Amino acid sequence: MQKVKIILLLTFFFFAAQTSAQRKEMSLVNWITLQEAQEAVLKQPKPILLDFYTDWCGWCKRMMATTYSDSSIAFYLNQNFYSVKFDAEGKDTVVFQGKTYAPTSMSPKTPHPLAVELLQGKLMYPSTLFLNGFDPKKNEFQIKLLAPGYLDREKIEPILIFTLENVYRNTSLDDFTASFNTAFRDTTVDAKLLNMKWKFPENVFDGNYKSSKKKLVFMHTYWCNSCKVMQRGVFTDSLLNKPLEKFDLVDFNPELKAPLFWRDSLYQKLPQDKFPFIHSL
């Protein structure tokens, strides 16, 4: 037991001793500066992931070596986010949203004023701030989601989707995370999905389909992760079994190319159309 404790302590101190350059090499994420992220958002809007760390924080290094070295997490971040690492005790003067933040002291472990402001005075490391929906006219982000503490893959995945796909507009992060965990970590979901009688739009909207039931049309694309959460984590809720029996459930991908009939009119996606929705002929 004593040997195990010594190994664990040595492992912790190994992570704590890494330089920021070494930590960056351990990560698969394409990190950029805060200034670069602000400039990039104006040219091509994307969410910003802002990782607050310190050189002495062992869990910060651990998160770099695990979460940010996970190939799927890194790929998702590199494709959809501007990722920024910010030394919460750094001594650089930085500008954020037009305001200048200069270090108040050159003494070690003095928190940077920007870290104090964005972390709302709660200086816990690591802490991750997720920003999205930047409005240039108001010079502000519509969503500012702060997640203190170490985030492993299971914790960060729903937050990334929640931030990127603007799920905050109609649900809370806690509710979405619960649905996410049901959708992808509940082993009974696949069986429940098989029992659901989803119909395809090309069968329901073919001009001949007859049914006395009302239609519940679930519009989603296959690249939309929050859609998958809703289909797998919400529609399979046992409380909805009886209400859903009153509807014809239609699984409708708006990028469908098949011709469809609606109210005696033919609709079809044109081959040269860049948009996902079908148009009337």
Task: Give the DSSP letter string of 233-259.
Answer: HTTT-GGGHHHHTTEEEEEE-TT--S-
The per-residue pLDDT for range 33-88, each reduced to its tens digit, is 999 999 999 999 999 999 999 999 999 999 999 999 999 999 999 999 999 999 99
276 has pLDDT over 70: no
pLDDT band at 217 (very low <50, low <70, confident <90, very high): very high
Dist CA 46 CA 88 (whole Å): 23
- pLDDT at residue 122 greater than cutoff 60: yes
Q: How confident is the model at residue 12 (pLDDT cuts 50, 70, 90)?
A: very low
pLDDT band at 271 (very low <50, low <70, confident <90, very high): low
Report the mean per-residue pLDDT for the chain: 88
Per-residue pLDDT for 27 more than 90? no
State residue 255's pLDDT score. Answer: 87
Q: Does residue 19 surpass a pLDDT of 70? A: no
pLDDT tens digits, 175-189 = 999 999 999 999 999
Residue 144 region by backbone torsions, left for phi larger than 0, else alpha for psi between -120 and 50, else beta: beta
Q: Give the start-to-end residue ranges of the domains of the chain.
A: 2-166, 189-280
As a whole-number percent, the residues of the chain with pLDDT over 70 amount to 87
Whole-number pLDDT of residue 231: 95
Domain 2-166 falls in which CATH fold? Glutaredoxin (3.40.30)
Position 200 pLDDT exceeds 80: yes
Per-residue pLDDT, averaged over 254-262, amounts to 88
- Antiparallel, parallel or unpaired: β 94-96 and 99-101: antiparallel
pLDDT band at 222 (very low <50, low <70, confident <90, very high): confident
- Each residue's pLDDT tens digit, 163-174: 999 999 899 999
Instruction: Say how many Å lie between the first and final Cα of the chain, rounded.
Output: 75
Identity at 76, one-letter amino acid code: Y
Mind giving me the DSSP string for 176-217? Answer: HHHHHHHHHH-TTHHHHHHHS-EE-HHHHTSS----SSEEEE
Better pLDDT: 6 or 43: 43
Question: What's the CA gap between 259 and 114, in Å, rounded?
Answer: 54
pLDDT at 11 over 50: no
Token output for 167:
């799920």
Mean pLDDT of 15-41: 75
Q: How many CA atoms lie within 13 A of 136 on its CB side?
A: 8
Burial group, residue 195, by CB count within 10 angstroms (0-12, 13-18, 19+): exposed
Pull the structure tokens for residue 63: 């998160």
pLDDT of residue 275: 53
pLDDT confidence of residue 258: 87
The stretch 24-36 carries a mean pLDDT of: 86
- Strand pairing category for 260-262 and 265-268: antiparallel
